[in-house]
Structure formats: C-alpha cells, structure tokens
Amino acid sequence: MNKPNTRNQHGISGKDDRQLMFSLINAGRAIEQSLEEALTPIGLSLAKFGALTHLVEAGEPLSLSECAKKMTCVRSNITQLMDRLEADGLVRRIKDPQDRRTVKAALTRLGRERQSAGAKEVARVQAELRKTLDGINQGALRRALSAIM
Amino acid sequence: MNKPNTRNQHGISGKDDRQLMFSLINAGRAIEQSLEEALTPIGLSLAKFGALTHLVEAGEPLSLSECAKKMTCVRSNITQLMDRLEADGLVRRIKDPQDRRTVKAALTRLGRERQSAGAKEVARVQAELRKTLDGINQGALRRALSAIM
DNA sequence: TTCGGTTTATTCATATATGAATAATACAGG
DNA sequence: CCTGTATTATTCATATATGAATAAACCGAA
C-alpha cells in the first residue's frame, strides 16, 4: 500500500509507531481509506458498498432492521443510508404487506451493477494487500486478529 | 477483549471471517470502540483525547494547523473539535501576536487533568490488549502492520 | 377483545470526519 | 510600496455514525 494515512483522526501513536494498539487502529483505517478511494470513482462509499453487498448476498429484499443487524449498527443509521442509496437510485424501499411496520430495501438494477463494479475494486485492493503481506506470517496475523474480536 | 463489535458500519466480512482485510478493519474498530468506552466515563472521546495528548506532548500551545498536521486531518475538523474542547473547558484559544492569522490551542488546568485521567484508561486498555495477544507472535504482527502503512 | 409491552422505522440532536469557498493576514519580488 | 500568491482559520454542505424520543403496528395474556 504505502499510501499516506490521511484519516488518522486522533493521530495518537505515542512516542514511536511501534505501539501495537495504535498501529492496529491505523492499519485498519489505512485499509478503509484505500477502499474508499477505490470505490469513489464508481460513486460508492464503503458504507454504501457494504449495504448493497448484504442485499446481493441475501438474494432478496431485507428489512431495514435486518440490514442494521448485518451491518452491526443502529437503525437510524440505516434509515439515513437508505435515504442516500435511494436518492442514488441504487435501492428501492418497499412496504411489507405481512407486517406493516416493516420497510424492506430492494436492489435496483443499477444497485446490482454498482455493487458488482464495487466488488471488483474491493478485490483489487484485497489482492494488493495480500501482496503487501506476502513475506509475513499471515497465520500469526490471523490468530492475532481473531483474538482481538 | 471479546466485546461485541458494535461499530462495524459496513459489516462486510465475506462468507467467513477469515478475510484478512476485513478482519484488520474490524480489529481496528473493535479497539477504537474499547477506547471510546474507556474514555466515556471521564468525559472524553478518542478524538478529544488525541488532541489533548498532542498538546500535552508538545508542552506548549499549538496552532490549529499544527494540530491538524499532528492528527492527520483537515483543518476544518480541528476548528470543530476545538470548539467542543473549548466548550468543555479543556482548551483555550489564544491569538498569536506574531502572526495574526494564527490561533493557538492552549491546555487549561482541567484539560491537563482530563488528559492524564484519559491516559490511565488508555494504558489499561493497552494492557488488556497485550494480555489478549500474549500467546501470539507479536513480531509478525508488528511487521505486518508496518508493511500496511 | 382490549391492554400493555415489543418491535418497526423515522426524526432529532449531536459527534466526527471531509472538502470547497471565504476572509484575513503574511510575505516575496517587481 | 504594491501586488500577487500562499497560508490561516472559519463557515458551509455533506457523509457517516450514535442514541433518545416518537408513532405506528404487532402480539400475547387477561
């Protein structure tokens, strides 16, 4: 990667960069940044791509609550995200006749296409990252990350 | 840690969690989340703590531009963050007579105390993380992270 | 069947970020 | 000394998040 991290908001890393905790935070943000940059040209953000991807994977419309669960965020966030996705023409809200409280998000054709284009870009970033981490012990890395979460 | 990740906005992790890229993003977010939770009781966010810490480390007032550089973010962000820190009584804006364009941020007594309390909490989280990562190869992890950034 | 608790989405207030536009100041070179 | 360019902070519009409050709809138990 070797891109400058332009999104380390707190900017804490102690006296040296070797502090593991902040390195992990910064690494995560650096990758997010790369993904955002890769998605920008096709008109997506990481948040939007995430929502579209869950809808594609589900293969059917999902209620906004289900979306919130899959994206591990609060529902008011999904309300807003869907507003933007709907404004972009990538998603359509449909009412659920079974449960009139529920609103489902359905992909539009454009939404499906956009997600597919996004997936290609994400795969590209992922391949870059794999190459970057080529020489290192990925097993150790995976074990560490799964210990954290 | 083993706290549920309640802040994985995109929520993408593919079919399995083994996808390194999203694991890294999620690990970073999980740690951020722990830090936010640790700082909340003392009235700080990670962003606020970061700003205070840079001021403490500098040992003197810093211009808002210098703060933005240290925190690797745009200046309009610092303007807003300083507004909130000033409202909290943790920082004071002082005009620079040498350069009348410049506004410097100076720690208040309360700001210094709050940062110090925050640093203790951060150290606690850091110690927890160290313990979590006890069994794993931290050298490999460090090398991986420095490769990414 | 009505009542009360739960779930649904939305709205509102707020925090944190970006980036563009603006205004004031500095400063170098003619 | 002007003049143009750069730098400074701020403001504005926007995106992404949280959490509290609200309204509508559902559902089980009395």
Contacts of B38 in chain A (CB under 8 A): none
Closest Cβ opposite residue B11 in set A31, A72, A138: A72
Q: For residue A90, give both structure tokens.
A: 């990538």
C-alpha torsion B12→B18→B24→B26, nearest 10: 40
Amino acid B142: pLDDT: 81
Closest Cβ opposite residue B132 in set A32, A132, A147: A147
Comparing A59-73, A81-95, B63-77, B130-144, the range with the smallest average pLDDT is B130-144
CA of A100 to C1' of D27 (A): 14
Helix (H, G, I), strand (E, B) or coil at A103: strand
CB contact under 8 A, B1 and A143: no
Amino acid B17: pLDDT: 39
CB contact under 8 A, A72 and B6: yes
CA of B59 to C1' of D18 (A): 33
In the 86-105 segment of chain A, residues within 7 Å (Cβ) of strand D are 99-101
C-alpha A106: how far from chain center: 18
Residue A100 has pLDDT above 80, yes or no: yes
- Segment A132-147 shows an average pLDDT of 79
Closest Cβ opposite residue B50 in set A11, A53, A145: A11
Residue A9 has pLDDT above 60, yes or no: no
Question: Per-residue pLDDT tens for B10-43?
Answer: 556 544 434 889 989 999 999 999 999 999 999 9
Instruction: Give the pLDDT band of residue A16 (cuts 50, 70, 90).
Output: very low
Residue A12 has pLDDT above 70, yes or no: no
Residue A137 has pLDDT above 80, yes or no: no
Q: Is the CB of A82 under 7 A from strand C?
A: yes
With beta carbons less than 8 A apart as the criterion, state whether A81 and A137 touch: no
Amino acid B7: pLDDT: 41
Domains in chain B with CATH codes? 20-148 (1.10.10.10)
Nearest CA in chain B to A70: B11
CB contact under 8 A, B27 and A26: no
Nearest CA in chain A to B17: A146
Q: Is the CB of A79 under 7 A from strand C?
A: yes
Q: What is the mean pLDDT of chain A?
A: 88
The number of C-beta contacts closer than 8 angstroms across A and B is 186
- Of A46, A60, A68, nearest to A112 by C-alpha is A60
DSSP class per residue in B63-122: EHHHHHHHHTS-HHHHHHHHHHHHHTTSEEEEE-SS-TT-EEEEE-HHHHHHHHHHHHHH
Amino acid B12: pLDDT: 60
pTM of the predicted model as reported, rounded to 2 decimal places: 0.87
CB contact under 8 A, B5 and A148: no
- For residue A104, the one-letter residue type is K
Amino acid A114: pLDDT: 98
